[in-house]
Chains A and B, each alone.
Chain A
Amino acid sequence: MSLFDLLLGIPLLSGVVMALINRSPIAARLNIAAGFLTFVVALALAFQVLEQGSILAHEQAFFLDPYNVFLVSLTAFVAATTAIFSRTYMLHEEEIGRVTASNLRLYHAMFQLFIFGMLLALTTNNLGVLWIALELATLATVLLVSLYRTPAAISAAWKYFILCGVGIALALFGTILIFSTSSETLGHGNDALTWTLLYKNAENLTPQVITIAFVFLMVGYGTKVGLVPMHAWLPDAHGEGPTPISAVLSGLLLNVALYALVRCKTLVDGATHGDLAGKLMMGFGMLSLVVASMALHRQRDIKRMYSFSSIEHMGLMTFSFGIGTPLANFAALLHMTVHSLVKSGIFFTVGHAAQGMKTQNMIGIRGLIRLQPGIGWGLLLGTIAIAGFPPFGVFASEFLLMTAALQSYPWTICLLLPSLVVAFAGLFRHVQPMVFGVPPEEVRAVRVNMLPVYIHLGLALVLGLAIPGFLADWYHNAADLLHRGAQ
């Protein structure tokens, strides 16, 4: 029984178990327990990698290198804290009758299955399995988005399903193309899709085929990342689903999709020695950044607004990975981490705020700080953090990103900086009245659990003040690994 088995086995098993448990309080507790167990295993794995370097398991079927191991621990961590938040949140939803007990059973089972899908996608060494795992993660969340059975929720879930389905189908086409060229050198079998082998033999892959394959992968996984113009599903899905799901979709699934994209990019870099893949990613990333930062202003729904902010940040990361220098990769990895932490923290707060105010419409949400200071401060600090104010980690990563952009493509600053300012203005325009205004008469405080929010923001703060030495080494290793392909 290796740690790998545990890492994947715990979520899968608990998902199955929770499909059988009808009592939601027990299931919610079990959910937390499973989350923490997974996190502990992920940490143990991380230390193992820290000591030994990359590890392979089950005859190369799984592997951990500096790049994915930190994502694994991040995913397990956010999943665990989301489970804590979800307990308070979903039980309240059950009390007010928005969900039934059987719906909650589906919710808990699918939640764990979703975590399993993401962890499988992160740890697998096989590009085909990576695709399957991402599709599995999508499928697991589709029914969760439509959990409330409102017309808006169902149409959001349908859109999510169809658009991501098509997108990811294109990614499969790209994977097949890669296989068609790699099977000529690596033989007709699992080896030809094994990433570590592909990475070593990238020289032997036909550049033209790989380039076309990457275009498909870019569009395919890019849909999943939520890049403009394939982003139409994202605000709907994040806005209409239960808030814990919005938190993990925004904080984790987007990361995993981007992870897949970057993995493929390193192959293309290795095969073509050109910067086409990087340029493509930079273009999509920049477009997402610009469009999303402007769209932020026009939102009425609080969760939709923050999901546009997610698009903006995913665009930023994609752009940064696209630049591809070690510094840019470092910035992108750091940004991935802090964005996950802060954004899921914000969604926790938003969930509580919406429960307290009984609406997701931002016009109806007023005076949070007077009604429930915890929520008010949480939202304010979270927004400050995500907007890139010092001393939070987002500032550090965005600063590094700007530096990297200035080194390689100075002119992009003309677009990057204004977009960030526009996004900042958009966020605060909406957040300020929500936090400070006068609360409506009829609302009263709800039971909240702000602990996960404070943990997340605290971690983001720590990362902003000083990145711990081992973490910095780690990022450096990963950034170099991703850069090596381009040389």
Chain B
Amino acid sequence: MISAELLKQLLSLAAALFLLTAFALLAQRHMHALLRWFAVQGVLLAATTALVAYAANVHELYISAFLALVLKGLLVPWLLWRIVIRLGAHREVESLVNIFATMLIGAALVLFAYYVSLPIQELSFVVTRNIIAIALACVLIGMLIMITRRKAITQVVGFLALENALFFTATAATYGMPLVVEIGVAFDVLIAALIFGVFFFQIRSTFDSLDLKHLEVER
């Protein structure tokens, strides 16, 4: 067992790293690097979950840590990478985004998340309550990724990063949701990733491109 103070510090560290990966995803232009950071985020998530499982002595969490590692750290990034290769999109670079401005918006979102979660921090009794702010910020950054990106795959990565942030909230701020819920959510995410894969091919075969600007059909 590790002491509560050390656990708190380790979790804070994990939260900071998680925030860093969220920003890295926000800033990446290259598909390859993007997916790599995404995998890093998944592994970080798994490590945090395992840490909480060990420290709080919740055995169920080992299962979700394992799920996170396999699904989010390995399987989904690998699947996405395979799809990217098969679609021949692995060299694509997104040029539209003004990275620095986006990053500043991201920083503003962190501030916003902090203010939103202040009441929670003041009232909650959980040791790790301040992580909710970071987690909410990561959720918002995931949304920002989805808003700023115009490519189907990067948008999906944003979506999955958002999902990762939710998992992170669940483990770090509440020591994990009940097992049924964790597994159910993981299952949903897996199906979502598969459907995304199907979609890439549908979009590709209909529009000859994965650029989402083609999707704005006149109605």
Contact = CB atoms under 8 A, between A and B. Distances in A.
Interface of A: 126, 128-129, 131-132, 135-136, 139, 142-143, 146, 149-152, 154-155, 157-159, 161-162, 165-166, 169-170, 172-173, 176-177, 179-181, 183-184, 188-190, 192-193, 206, 208-209, 212, 236, 300-301, 304
Contacts of B10: none
B184 A132 contact: yes
B147 to A, nearest CB: 10
Given A176-B173, A212-B116, A169 B162 contact: yes
B125 interface: yes
A449 to B, nearest CB: 29
B90 to A, nearest CB: 21
Given A135-B188, A169-B162, A212-B120, A188 B175 contact: yes
A162 B184 contact: no
A161 B125 CA distance: 36
B146 A129 contact: no
Contacts of B177: 128, 176, 179, 193
B124 A180 contact: yes
A252 B120 CA distance: 35
A301 B217 CA distance: 14
Nearest to B116: A212
The 9 closest A-B pairs by CB, nearest first: A128-B181, A155-B215, A132-B184, A208-B119, A180-B174, A190-B178, A135-B188, A152-B217, A176-B170
Contacts, number: 136
A181 B155 contact: no
A172 B186 CA distance: 13
B83 interface: no
Given A154-B203, A162-B146, A188-B175, A132 B123 contact: no
B1 interface: no
A158 B203 contact: yes
Nearest to A61: B180
B124 A155 contact: no
Contact of A128 (B122, B139, B180, B212): B180
Given A143-B198, A146-B202, 5 more contacts: A128-B180, A151-B214, A176-B173, A181-B124, A192-B178
Contact of B119 (A129, A143, A183, A209): A209
Contacts of A188: 58, 174-175
B32 to A, nearest CB: 23
Contact of A126 (B180, B199, B207, B214): B180
Contacts of A212: 116-117, 119-120
A165 B159 contact: yes
12 contacts: A128-B180, A135-B185, A136-B191, A139-B192, A154-B199, A161-B192, A180-B132, A181-B124, A184-B124, A184-B125, A189-B178, A212-B117
A151 B139 contact: no
B162 A180 contact: no
A212 B136 CA distance: 12
Contacts of B103: none
A169 B166 contact: yes
B24 interface: no
Which among B125, B126, B207, B217 has the highest number of chain A CB atoms within 10 Å?
B217
Interface string B198-219: 1100110011000010111101
Contact of A209 (B120, B198, B203, B206): B120
Q: Determine the interface band of chain B, counting residues with CB < 8 A from chain A.
A: 35 or more
B62 to A, nearest CB: 15
A212 B174 CA distance: 16
Nearest to B212: A158
A206 to B, nearest CB: 5
B101 interface: no
A165 B188 CA distance: 11
Given A176-B166, A179-B174, A209-B120, A162 B181 contact: no
A301 B122 CA distance: 51
Given A128-B180, A129-B181, A170 B139 contact: yes
Contacts of B174: 176, 179-180, 183, 188
A151 B123 contact: no
Given A129-B184, A190-B180, A157 B199 contact: yes
Contacts of A177: 120, 132
A162 B151 CA distance: 13
A208 B120 contact: yes
A180 B184 contact: no
B198 to A, nearest CB: 7
A166 B155 CA distance: 11
B180 A151 contact: no
A131 B166 CA distance: 13
Contacts of A150: 206
B169 interface: yes
Contact of B195 (A139, A179, A190, A193): A139
A166 B124 contact: no
A173 B217 CA distance: 32
Contacts of B217: 151-152, 155
B26 to A, nearest CB: 16
B155 A154 contact: no
Interface string B101-118: 000000000000000110
Contacts of A170: 139
